[in-house]
Amino acid sequence: MLSDVQLELLTAFVDGELDDRRRQAVLQLLHESSEARSMLGQLQENAHRLRELPREKLDTAFAGKVLQAIAEKGLIPGPAVMPAILPLRRRMPVWLRWSAAAAMLLVAVLGSWGAYRFLFGPDKEGPGPMVEHKDPPAPPPQPEEKALEFAFQDLRDEAAQQLLVEELKKEPAVRLAVTVRDQKQAVSRLQDALKHSGVKLLVDSTAQGHLQEGRPKTQYFVYAENLRPDEVTALLQKLSDQPQTEANFDKLLVTSLTGDDRVELSNLLGIDPEDLKPPPRVAFTDPIPAQPEPRKKAKAKKAAPQPERLALVLAQEPSGNISPQIQAFLKSRREQRPGTMQLLLVLQQA
């Protein structure tokens, strides 16, 4: 069970409020504790849901009508009461602050509605009709999605690299959401980094046009196959190796490649989603099929040259045409080798 100090470190990690020393302590904790990794995923999901909450706005005439109603009723504000200030023994966890903020928002909404009824009455004209907001139906329960978030500067640490490698080994197909400051520069850095792993990066003509125009709201998909987890980790570590003043790559979110991702990717490639399904992984407990012994020793043959490995950059906005770059990538595809993975890297501008 995680201690209060460890929970406090994890919440501060989600907030981005840790110094280098405490960030290293969190990374070490995540490397050693599956419970800590699970709690981190829950905290990140809660933060994401709170950021997605809708924001309600009052009519611009509301304040004036409230003041007019106060003047008509002759109301006089009472003296302000200063709350007692109590010392805090420890930093309040972020989830507790969010819960307190939500409770205060609810009290404010209920208080505003009571003041509205008191000032205007049920039969008087107020600032406008109150629209009843019904909560959408709860979605069906989804299987828990494994998610792990890193800051690129943390990937220089060996503990973070090992944690990332272990996470990548769990899935045959992984989605990496990468936040960058300049997408065109990010693609250029990716080309250089992939080249060191023997992978040539092709840029679809539509994506190339969008990059030249500098469309900040366009997402770009970088897709590759038959990459080893250590190759992907080395690629990300190389992208993180940049001076702080020139840092372009910001955050990294690691999740599994979903069926929806395959459908979207298959539409861009012009192929069936079934063609993107990875083969099932062979468990360590499965028996290894026996290999028949050769009848006689064959003469050593000259090894055939390995086919060139390609990766492809696509814009999320499809053009409807299969470009020469897409055709070349599809032609180069090979059956997925054991111990390798499919990689979908999504570039989104901060």
Cα–Cα distance for residue pair 164/157, rounded to 1 Å: 11
State the pLDDT at residue 97.
Answer: 56
pTM score, whole prediction: 0.56
Higher pLDDT, 211 or 84: 211
Query: For the residues 132-138, what does the mean pLDDT come to?
Result: 54
Higher pLDDT, 225 or 61: 225
Quick check: helix, strand or coil at residue 299? coil
Query: For the residues 228-255, what does the mean pLDDT come to?
Result: 83
Bridge partners of 253? 149, 177
Bridge partners of 151? 251
Higher pLDDT, 144 or 245: 245
Would you place residue 37 in the very low, low, confident or very high pLDDT band (cuts 50, 70, 90)?
A: confident
Would you place residue 86 in the very low, low, confident or very high pLDDT band (cuts 50, 70, 90)?
A: very low
Would you place residue 103 in the very low, low, confident or very high pLDDT band (cuts 50, 70, 90)?
A: low
State the pLDDT at residue 140.
Answer: 54
Cα–Cα distance for residue pair 148/146, rounded to 1 Å: 7
State the pLDDT at residue 217.
Answer: 82
Mean pLDDT of the chain: 76
Close Cβ partners of 317 (under 8 Å, ≥ 6 residues apart): 206, 210, 218
Query: For the residues 223-244, what does the mean pLDDT come to?
Result: 86
Task: Dig out the tokens for 73 from the structure.
Answer: 């009723």
| For residue 89, pLDDT beyond 50 | no
| For residue 331, pLDDT beyond 90 | yes
State the pLDDT at residue 187.
Answer: 92
| For residue 196, pLDDT beyond 50 | yes
- Pseudo-torsion of CA 8, 14, 18, 20, nearest 10°? 120
Percentage of residues in the chain with pLDDT exceeding 70?
70
Range list of H helices, the chain: 4-15, 20-32, 34-51, 62-73, 94-120, 158-168, 183-196, 205-213, 229-240, 259-269, 324-332
State the pLDDT at residue 143.
Answer: 47
Cα–Cα distance for residue pair 56/46, rounded to 1 Å: 20
Per-residue pLDDT tens digits for 270-327: 889 888 887 665 443 444 455 555 565 555 565 555 667 899 999 987 667 789 999 9
CB 308 within 8 A of CB 147: no
| Order of all β-strands in the sheet with 220-227 | 148-151, 249-256, 173-180, 341-349, 220-227, 309-315, 199-203
State the pLDDT at residue 288.
Answer: 45
